[in-house]
Each structure stands twice: as structure tokens, then as C-alpha cells.
Structure 1
């Protein structure tokens, strides 16, 4: 392990490089501090989503990756995706359609929280936190786009991630909802002191995130 990664809080990307067919798509060396959002911008095919996938643990085998990922000083790039303590938010909410809103949330809760009463209470508290009181028993198919996005956020946070990856999470929302969701997501990142990585095409997303910005140039050979 790198000396600088020992006992370090946050998400460390140590000389992480993504390659495809002999081309280097990106090369990044950064520490994302607790409560900070690092925004990565670049054209399509520049490697943004591949970086996201590498950190999360599901990089397509067509790509090669070098470098290491540390979360609070612990290497995670050799761990299975479900063991990395990394939460994911995508463009689509990806709620389980055969479950109610509440069951979607209960499914995400850590196994260490036992007893249905306690688990339901935690889920209801999170629903209230994202402004969705009274929707515990709702069918996800009846939700608006903004409501579904907030349920997805609540589900991700209930899993108690130590880092958060955001892949264009606001792109399918209309302008007013986009603004309110940015405020909600970035506010909770700061409140909970979670290091977060945002990949986006939207410069307004980067400005709202308020953290450092990395712009990726077109891939080189």
C-alpha cells in the first residue's frame, strides 16, 4: 500500500488509468475528501463511465485498468463490488418494480440492523428526509420521475456507503427538478461527509457540486 494512503480518509484514486485497445482513455491521481464532490467531465468515449465502473468493481473486460483505489486508507480494487462500500446513483432510478417503495428501501438496509420495527422506522425516516412522507406503500410505477429519483437516493444512502458514485444522475429530470435534486444530493454528501465522484456532461452539475473539476481530453493512442 502507498504510504500516503495509510490512515487516510476519503476516496483515493492512485494513478488510475483506463485503457482500451492500446489507447489510454484517462489517467487520474486524486484524493476525494469526505464531503467533497469531484466532478469528471469529458466527451463521449473519454472514459468517464469506465472510471465509474472500475471504482464500482464492474469494469467491462474489454478495458484494462491500472492503479489502485483506497477508501479510508483500505484498498478496495481487489474486492467484490458488494464488499466495496460504494453507493451508486445512475441516470435511471432502477427501482425493483415488483417491490413497493418501502420494500425497495428495506432491501438496502444493512443486515446488522435487526428487527422489522427498527428497519421500517429507519426507512420511514429516510423517506421523510428526501421529502417523500407517506409513500412507503406506493408502487414504484406510480411515481413521478423526481419521486423515483429521490427514492433511489434514499435507497442508496440507507445502505450506508462510505463513498458515492454519481453517473449523470440528474440528466433525465426537467430543469426545476434537476436544481432541487442537485441541492438535495450534494447537501446530503456534505452533511454525511461522504466522498463522491460525479461524471457528467453538464457544466451546471459541476458548478452545483462545488468541488474540484477534472476535464478529460479525447482519448489518445
Structure 2
């Protein structure tokens, strides 16, 4: 289980009143999808960044399955994150972008290459193995990004508006991939402003208002 207890953060700004003091409390069980809603600038991405280790909390408790994460760097945390955009390396072909989820140095054996090929087939991108990202549509790019995240096989998946701007077919395809991960026991924390995404995936939802999570 993911636990955040009084996990606090404040951005240092010229005007201290520009942003609230954030303080997050939540619990997320394996196989569950928790959706977080709130206005732009309200702290949704801040919450994900604290969990992922991209930001350091000023105080509070953060743990997975009872083990504290406070001193763990991002690359040692058992999670993966998919953002709305800027997910892919533009100079790398599709297979290499996906392969980074298996080996950051891209030293891939034959079994890893098979997993990449099978994964691309599974998300309808089998013919795009060698294409560069700028030759893909928005929906195709997001499928590549999500596939890379899923191949890492981490128990926690953070989704930051990953379906925004996609057409209905692409969104439903990605929803199916996420639901499959939930059935395998992956915990999903979804940040989204879209009620359709939340209805399709979320077991629970919380609202982020003035720096606090509420039901």
C-alpha cells in the first residue's frame, strides 16, 4: 500500500501567497485506482512529483508496503510515471523508447527485444517499430509511453493527465491497458480533469482544494 501522511511541501516564491502550503494524506492499495481532481495549479502534479521523488517534502511520511521512501532517489522507487506529453526521446526510434523501460542503457538481449515487439503488437503499433516519435500521432505516442511504463512491471503507476487530447478510440485502448494492470495488482494514481477517464478507471476519487485532499 502507498501511504502519504501529512506530506508537506511549499514552493519558494517572491510572493509567499502565490501558492498554498500543500499537505497530502492518502492511501492507495495494490490493484486500486485512485483519481485526484482539482484546478490547474492546485498541486496535482506536485503530489505526483513528491511520490516519484522529483521533489523533496518539507515534512511528513511517504511509504510503500510499510517501507519509507524519504531517502530513496527516484530511480530506486518501485513506480513509473506517464505524463500528458514530453514522454518520448525524439532522437530514438519507437523500439528504443520502449526499451528504455527495460534497460536504461538499451543493452537489450533477444528476450527483451521479443518483449518489445510483442508489446508493440499488443498496443496496435507493430508496424511502427523503427519510426521516430515525430512520425507518430498523439495517440500513438501515448501508447508508446504507456507501453514503456508497463514493461517496467513496477507495482505503482502514476498517471498525470495521460489521455488529454486523445480521441475516443485511443483513450479506450489506453484505458484497457491500465485496467489490465490493475487486475494484475498494480496500484494506479490518476491525475485527471476528465470525468470520462475517472468513470472508466477510478475506484475512488479525491479532490485537491487549497492544497488539501478531500473526499
TM-score tier by shorter-chain length is 0.7 to 0.9
Quick one: structure 1 residues 114 and 43, their matched pair in 2 at CA, closer, same or farther if it must change by over 3 Å?
A: closer
TM-superposed CA distance for 1:131, in Å, is 2.4
Aligned positions of 1:59-74 closer than 5 A: 59=55, 65-74=58-67
Q: Which digits, 9 at most, give the CA deviation of each residue in 1:116-141, with x for residues without a partner?
A: 21110111122123222232222222
Distance of 1:30 and 1:115 partners within structure 2: 37
- What residue ranges of structure 1 are gaps of 5+ in the alignment? 1-9
- 2:32 corresponds to: 36
Q: Answer whether contact 2:23 2:211 (CA < 8 A) is retained.
A: no
Q: Does 1:139 align with 2:124?
A: no
- The Cα RMSD (Å) is 2.4
- What residue ranges of structure 2 are gaps of 5+ in the alignment? none
Distance of 1:77 and 1:88 partners within structure 2: 18
- 1:7 corresponds to: none
Distance of 2:28 and 2:85 partners within structure 1: 25
Q: Answer whether contact 2:32 2:186 (CA < 8 A) is retained.
A: yes
2:210 paired residue among 196, 211, 218:
218
2:76 paired residue among 68, 73, 83:
83
1:11 paired residue among 2, 21, 35:
2
Q: Answer whether contact 1:34 1:195 (CA < 8 A) is retained.
A: yes
TM-superposed CA distance for 1:110, in Å, is 4.3
Distance of 2:165 and 2:203 partners within structure 1: 22
Quick one: structure 1 residues 99 and 114, their matched pair in 2 at CA, closer, same or farther if it must change by over 3 Å?
A: closer
Aligned positions of 1:163-174 closer than 5 A: 163-174=156-167
TM-superposed CA distance for 1:183, in Å, is 3.0
Say how many residue pairs are matched.
206
